[in-house]
Amino acid sequence: MRQCAAEATVPIIPPEVYNFDANTIPKNVKITKAEALELYETMVLIRRMETEIASLYKEKKVFGFCHLYAGSEAVGTGIVANMKPVDNLITSYRCHAFAMMFQNRQQKDGPFSVMAELAGRAGGLSAGKGGSMHVFVPPHFYGGQGIVGGQVPLGIGMGFAHKYSDDGGVAFPLYGDGASNQGQVYESFNLAALLKLPVVFVCENNLYGMGTAAKRSSASTEYHKAGRFMPGIKADGMDIITTREISRIAADYSRSGNGPIVVQFQCYRYYGHSMSDPGTSYRTREEVQHVRQTRDPLNLFKAVLIEAKLASEDEIEAINKKAKKVCAEAKDAAAAAPSPDPADLYTHVYVKYLEQPRRRTVIG
């Protein structure tokens, strides 16, 4: 039986930088066996959960819109793996993976609570009242937003709160290539840079917006340069080691008082824009299959684990089987959960204001 290593040094895929010191980005990073297996397990759990969500949708147990994240698991996993307990994150409607990860960080049943919410059940994250596009995990995940790009100004509000309270936190507003040309995104860039807010803007460039390719809707797809007066990094979003390291570097930069930075992760989505979109009118099935076979983040990292002797085939298979079982059971439990009590129509409507007034100060 082959002996596995407790730690290994693995390469990251060299990124492109804009007004940023490339020498601060290492070529290799160390990772322990425990860290590596946790990253792999998280990505597998996301993939399996979304497979079950797709099944629930086809069974007509999930209503409305449903936007899946499959293919982009390395981006979300890499970002969340580096977040400090004080950091905050907000994203678009492609949000199920993040909700699950933040629930699991709180030792809660992430897959069940996400699927129950999508099915409109009482055990869901928002008590079954928000659905696919509105899931929240207080106090650090501010949810998925249904308005394209609308989460970005909310994200800099989170950054302002970090600076105001001087708590050392960083805000991560995530948006896609489809939202990258929204006016509110550029307004957010300006204000964040003006106030030097601790914000890491993350553009998840999955190459396609709603029905068209990014290159057909953007005069420039170099989204990491869009801030002009902010530094930027463009990195491979299909490689979990790269996303984890670049997320850490960007957060450390912003956390150190340097102000905001833009990170563009090049990733992909296997499903259409939403479950109602077959996703084949603006790209070919052959293209999707090619990415699955050659660039899948789970398969790529599995190969790294085996090559670096951080895991055996048996250990990887055990993780896969566990994730499949957990998510299948969560799906059945979510489908069988009760509907919200009618009295819940009157809950979560108002919130008490601050009990004591706080002295306002000016941020220079």
CA dist 37 to 6, 42, 294, Å?
A: 11, 8, 21
Per residue in 268-289, pLDDT tens?
999 999 998 888 889 999 999 9
Alpha helices in 130-213 (DSSP H): 151-165, 183-195
Q: Ramachandran region of residue 29, left (φ > 0), alpha (ψ -120 to 50) or beta?
A: beta
Per residue in 85-121, pLDDT tens?
999 999 999 999 999 999 999 988 999 999 999 999 9
Per residue in 279-315, pLDDT tens?
888 999 999 999 999 999 999 999 999 999 999 999 9
Residue 7 parent element (H or E): strand 7-11
Helix, strand, coil % in the chain, rounded to nearest 5: 45, 15, 40
* Amino acid (1-letter code) at residue 316: I
pTM for this predicted structure: 0.93
Task: Please give the CATH superfamily to which domain 7-346 belongs.
Answer: Thiamin diphosphate (ThDP)-binding fold, Pyr/PP domains (3.40.50.970)
Backbone angles phi, psi at 229, to 5 degrees: -90, 5
Mean pLDDT, all residues of the chain: 93
Q: How confident is the model at residue 124 (pLDDT cuts 50, 70, 90)?
A: very high
Tell me the C-alpha distance between 63 and 115, whole Å: 12
Q: Domain locations in the chain? A: 7-346
Tell me the C-alpha distance between 35 and 13, whole Å: 19
Tell me the C-alpha distance between 236 and 65, whole Å: 28
- How, if at all, do strands 7-11 and 28-32 pair? antiparallel
Q: Is the preceding omega at residue 139 within 30 degrees of 0, hence cis? A: yes
Q: What is the CA radius of gyration of the chain?
A: 20
Statement: residue 139 has pLDDT above 80: yes
On whether the CB atoms of residues 67 and 93 are closer than 8 A, the answer is yes
Per residue in 224-280, pLDDT tens?
999 889 999 999 999 999 999 999 999 999 999 999 999 999 999 999 999 988 888
What is the SS3 assignment for 125? coil
Per residue in 186-231, pLDDT tens?
999 999 999 999 999 999 999 998 888 899 989 999 999 998 899 9
- How, if at all, do strands 200-205 and 171-176 pair? parallel
Q: Percentage of the chain surpassing pLDDT 70?
A: 95
Per residue in 67-86, pLDDT tens?
999 999 999 999 999 999 99
